[in-house]
Structure 1
């Protein structure tokens, strides 16, 4: 058994994931009635979601309690990168929707409850930050987890002994070891997730909402392969594609099938470790990115809102598009971490054009229909961007300070 485990862990994880992906797709087509095949996928995502809040909390507390000076500028850089890339994503969606306008068939309104406006979104975010920390850990509310872990980390830095800080570091290392074990089960989990998607959705979804799906996926692909690399290239002044493709391959694939940025936090943290990044930095930047780096969500909100406008014959003047970009950016940062969370912010953006909630909620219903594709692509972009911009911020800071930079860490070997 030990030999098998050693051979499994030493073999290529990506190759094993690809094999699991192919097997899951074949089984989904051949034996879609065997629902038990999808169970490992549910188990894999549940395990990642369960360990992620604990991982974030112990890593951030440990990092802050033992933090050294000199990483503050990296946080400023990564926040700017997160917000700027999200704004650019909304701009890409507006340009694409203008060049290739898409209409949708509006039918029954969804029963989901949407926030009333930006004020409500921001109020909910602030209230969630100061909630009971135990409840936040149980619910996986990462903005609140970050807040309380920063508070405890600062307090421990002031009063804790070196022995206590070492214990915290050992706890962080232990949780990281557990995460590594869960990630080694990714090929089996991906197989189950792919089986479930193929067996339940098939390819029929492409025929009913093909144009809308193509527009959404096209915008997301453009952001992933064009705008994000341009941002990274400007910051690093070197070819960004080796780093971009590494993040998409190592982070985007698992996020695509798990459809959960929260579940992918452990995956991203392990990726950052292999990229040679500073744990004190990425243990905060990655969970922060899962909250405010919402490029895919900005694309979804913008495309779906303009699809409603085109369907109703509403013209969208240039000044209003800028306001829509800002609303989409801020709204995306406040989007719920659950699957389809960005869809519930469509009515808020639609209100800018005087569209009633009854009509805009029908677009939300359409969004849930195509969610198996839309949400998967959206999450893959968001999660890969978290790792990409964390690496970009740290590499940029090191280069600026004249420090040696090992681009791509282990991947460069």
Structure 2
């Protein structure tokens, strides 16, 4: 893919020492597979790289009957049947630039930040990470730039436990960024997002991932990616029989266009208000908004209400999930933690009420940590639920 790599790049990509890289390259060059250059390596001319691919090696093993007892074969074509990925997540990857302040600044005011950091973020990446942390088998698709943050994105996603990542690169737009203020007084946040490459995802790129989408049982997306690409991917998922879940954040004026494709929607109070024209300020207005959203064609409505818990509306019945006590440090990514955990539990066969109760507990753990992508371990949820 890269044609040429430095020893340092190989060391980072493979998480081995430079000494190991140099030793291995010497052997690979001796075998005629690579050509060493100053400080790095390039592909040797005339080498058929395809025969070293995973598919080619699996085919060779099958030919020698080494895998026939453990892997199912397609009887008509003699190929490996692809395992189903439980959840396909389409969404954004952003680099989060966070400043922690005693309080939010007033217009025109400059405040000193007590600390700052650069980390991984984006609603799609966060939700995929949270779902993976909670045991779901995830395929995550995103688009990044070819800039100083692209390698950072790849390294982060490779460390998350997400089973399969589909990373598309834009040569014209930068990796998305989010500028985040965190108020130390309230634990609340203010976020400004530049979507960058996320908004350049094309129909052709979605179609290239179609075989992954149609193998999903659940499909989750948000609205930090190109709207038309989202709609296309949702259509493919819907036609293939997947349950389509939409987290309508940040809210988009064209959101109503997506609702006929949606089985479950997870707005917060602000998004529910924008979607329905009903100002959600309390439980009663939240119920009215849920009924209005259901009337637009969505079977299951999950309204997250911050400190007031979660309201569920399904099969004409309301269920309230109460908020759990937590020591709030940073609410950035709380909604993403909730959505990821919710989908993971649904993929395991939990009811909506069971899944929402679990996700609510997981989100209560997430707000006790700094950073949107600092997802807690699923092992902590049981103790929180039993506290």
TM-score category, normalised to shorter length: under 0.3
**Structure showing the higher helix proportion among its residues:** 1
Length-normalised TM-score, structure 1? 0.23
- Of structures 1 and 2, the larger Rg is shown by 2
Higher share of residues assigned strand: 2
Greater relative contact order, per chain length (Cα 8 Å cut-off, separation 6+)? 1
User: Could you state the TM-score of these two structures normalised by the residue count of structure 2?
Assistant: 0.24
